[in-house]
Chains A and B, each alone.
Chain A
């Protein structure tokens, strides 16, 4: 079973920041938070991941709360091409092999 809870859908105006929340209250110490997105009928695209600290890359920022029980993915200036399903995934590190368990995700719709 997925270990994360996300709102089923969100809307965002083009050019504004999109803040996508994720709850992972049962996360354990060696588990990472990953974010992927899937644009219609394409393969999932890696966005960002983190363990404890906030992370930023060219696509997005990831804010993880101090207790690590929740996180927020921030797309700073959403465009129409950011419309997609966004998946927050808790993934074990170390030797727990590669089992990405996708939840239902959040459908983000960016409108003009």
Chain B
């Protein structure tokens, strides 16, 4: 089973709202990722968690706040977003970052629209 689930599938929010995206995997993976994908562009890495600790932040604005409450769950808290933050937000997970190769498996994404 290589399933990563994401909720909600679609989200519309105003610029003053606070919302959260959720990602879950039950593959025993210890690394989890957030990517952002604008229309007709490739995915871009935002954050990496390794063993529930933030290991990479790709200079993402503070209005995006990731959280990894346990090894199976990854959240992305959103606050005071701008219309240009509208995008497909993808979650991925992988087994282990430490040595060898590490295949990432992606969820279906959350389509976010900021009004």
Contacts and interface: CB of A to CB of B under 8 A. Distances in A.
Interface of A: 2, 32, 34, 36, 41-46, 49, 51, 87, 91, 93-95, 97-105
A105 B43 CA distance: 11
Contacts of B71: none
B97 A102 contact: no
Interface residues of B, number: 30
B101 A32 contact: yes
Given A102-B44, A105-B42, A97 B106 contact: no
Given A43-B90, A103-B42, A98 B106 contact: no
10 contacts: A36-B106, A43-B106, A43-B109, A44-B92, A45-B106, A51-B101, A93-B101, A95-B99, A97-B31, A103-B42
Interface string B48-67: 10100001100000000000
Contacts of A103: 42
Given A43-B108, A44-B90, A44-B106, A95 B44 contact: no
Contacts of B92: 43-44
Interface string B95-110: 0011111111111110
